[in-house]
Structure 1
Amino acid sequence: MVSALRLYAEQTFVEQAQHYAAVLGMRGVSVEIELIEKLGSRFLRLNPELALCVDQDGLWLAANGMKMQPDWKGESGRLKRASLKSEMIARACNIAEKPRLIDATAGLGHDSLLMAHLGAHVTLVERHPILFTLLEDTQQRALDDKILHAAAARIRLVFSDSADYLAQQASLVQVVDVVYLDPMFPQRDQNQNAAKKQAQVKKQMQLLHMLLPEDGEMDLGDHLLPLAQKIAKRVVVKRPRLAVFLAGQSTEHQWLGDACRFDAYFQHDLNT
């Protein structure tokens, strides 16, 4: 895990840079602030190493000429078009019932934002201090946005390892309606006999892969399914359409799309 990063900022944003450096320092990440004259595309191309940067749009992750942050504002168009009937994820997670939902694989938070927009009360769990801080900054900005405010207000961020958090909820006998799992690296357990050529990874995913390098089978999320089943009436797993089942646990309850599917696991003994 990345434990030290450089943070680039123009003089105008030095106070914001100091704030982010202090927050990340409390979360175990050493940040060295470097003031620069102009934080533009040319500067980023000439500084290819993974770094953070601060500008008028907040905190970003950068490398190889690319910048990335959770783009909740960029989701506004999708949110305006979204409905309980049109979104497969909404049907899979039964969002019509306004569930209490734990997203245990936060990523950039886009799925959680959509589900919160449609009425779910979401606990978003992330263990990586840098990604968590990016999510935290994005949520604060969303709360100031008229379109995003209501959805952002229904999201609670938790800085924790998901396995630890789910185990803690189980020890407290806390039952939730849904646990949602979307593992970061599903391509490694793809059904090789049916797999087709994969499209090039999006830029934001390229940066996430640099920040969160694969470090073994834990990245596939197999260990999260049994933990989630202890506390959730319904566990929903997002998979590439042709991928094998998470943890090898099959289910007949599926919602199928062109590129992905949602597998659902029900715990009827928790529906009391």
Structure 2
Amino acid sequence: MVSEIRLFAERDFLEKAQHFNAVLSSRGVQSTIEEVEKLNARFFRHHPELALCVDQDGLWLCAQGMRMQPDWKAEVGRLKRASLKSEMIARACQLSEKPQLIDATAGLGHDSLLMAHLGANVTLVERHPILYTLLESTHQQASLDPFLKSIVARIQLVFSDSADYLKQCANQLVDADVVYLDPMFPQRDQNQNTIKKQAQVKKQMQLLHLLLPEDGEMDLGDELLALAQSVAKRVIVKRPRHAVYLNAQKPDHQWLGDACRFDAYFQTIVSE
């Protein structure tokens, strides 16, 4: 996990950079602020190492000539087209019932944003301090947007390891209607004999893979499935269409799309 990182900012945004520097430090990440003349494409090409930058739109991750943030404003078009009937994720998570939902594999938060738009009250859990801070900055920026502000009001961010958070929920008898899992590295456990080599991941995922190297079974989410089942009435796992089952556990139901599927695990009610 990254414990030290450079933080670039133009002069006009040094105060904002100092704020992020303090926030990251409180979360165990030391950042060194460097003032730059201009954050432009040329600058990023000449600084290929993994770093952060700050501008009027908040905090960004940058590397290899690219930069990215969880850009929720860019999702507005998709949100406006989405409906409970058109989105497979809505049927899988029963979003028409406005569930209390835990997204235990936050990523860039795009699925959480969609689910909140369609009615869910979402708890978004992320353990990586830099990714969490990126999500926090994006959440704050989105709260100022006229269209997004009512949606992000239904998203609560939690800085925690998902396994620890789910164990805490179970110990405190906190129930959720749905736990949603979308493991970061599903391609590693696919059947390589039947799956063609995937195309290079999008820019945002390339940078996330630099920030979040595969470092153990938690990245596959196997341990999370059993923990989620102890908390929620319904656990929904997003998988590539031909990926193996999470934790080798056959789901109770599936929704199949062209590129992905949603596996459902339902809570068994024991009669006394």
Q: TM-score range by the shorter chain?
A: over 0.9
What are the Cα deviations for residues 110-164 of structure 1, in whole angstroms up to 9, with x where unaligned?
0000000011000000000000000000001111101111110000000000000
Pair 1:92 & 2:82 matched: no
**Structure 1 residues without counterparts, runs of 5 or longer:** none
Pair 1:8 & 2:8 matched: yes
Q: Distance in 1 between matches of 2:160 and 2:244?
A: 27
Q: Distance in 2 between matches of 1:40 and 1:198?
A: 31
Contact 2:252–2:266 (Cα < 8 Å) also in 1: no
Q: Which residue of the partner structure matches residue 65 of structure 2? A: 65
Question: Kindly, what percent of the aligned residue pairs are identical?
Answer: 74
Q: Which amino acid aligns with 2:265?
A: Y
Q: Distance in 1 between matches of 2:36 and 2:51?
A: 14
What are the Cα deviations for residues 53-74 of structure 1, in whole angstroms up to 9, with x where unaligned?
0111110000011001001000
Q: Which residue of the partner structure matches residue 261 of structure 2? A: 261
Q: Which amino acid aligns with 2:43?
A: F
List structure 1 runs of 4+ shifted beyond 6 angstroms.
Answer: none
Q: Which residue of the partner structure matches residue 216 of structure 1? A: 216
Q: Which residue of the partner structure matches residue 186 of structure 1? A: 186
Q: Which residue of the partner structure matches residue 34 of structure 2? A: 34
TM-score (norm 2): 0.98
The equivalences for 1:170-181 within 5 A come to 170-181=170-181
Q: Secondary structure of the equivalent of 1:138?
A: helix
Q: Distance in 1 between matches of 2:126 and 2:252?
A: 29
Q: Distance in 1 between matches of 2:194 and 2:117?
A: 35
Q: What is the deviation of 1:200?
A: 1.1
Q: Secondary structure of the equivalent of 2:197?
A: coil
**Structure 2 residues without counterparts, runs of 5 or longer:** none
Q: Secondary structure of the equivalent of 1:269?
A: coil
TM-score (norm 1): 0.98
Pair 1:137 & 2:141 matched: no
Q: Secondary structure of the equivalent of 2:222?
A: coil
Q: Secondary structure of the equivalent of 1:122?
A: strand
Q: Secondary structure of the equivalent of 2:78?
A: helix
Q: What is the deviation of 1:252?
A: 4.0
Q: Distance in 1 between matches of 2:181 and 2:44?
A: 33
Q: What is the deviation of 1:170?
A: 0.2
Contact 1:232–1:270 (Cα < 8 Å) also in 2: no
The equivalences for 1:47-86 within 5 A come to 47-86=47-86
Two-structure CA RMSD over aligned residues (Å):
1.0
Q: Which residue of the partner structure matches residue 111 of structure 2? A: 111
Q: Distance in 1 between matches of 2:270 and 2:196?
A: 39
What are the Cα deviations for residues 27-65 of structure 1, in whole angstroms up to 9, with x where unaligned?
000010000111111000000000000111110000011
What are the Cα deviations for residues 59-98 of structure 1, in whole angstroms up to 9, with x where unaligned?
0000011001001000000000000010000100000000
Q: Distance in 2 between matches of 1:193 and 1:17?
A: 48
Q: Which amino acid aligns with 1:133?
A: T
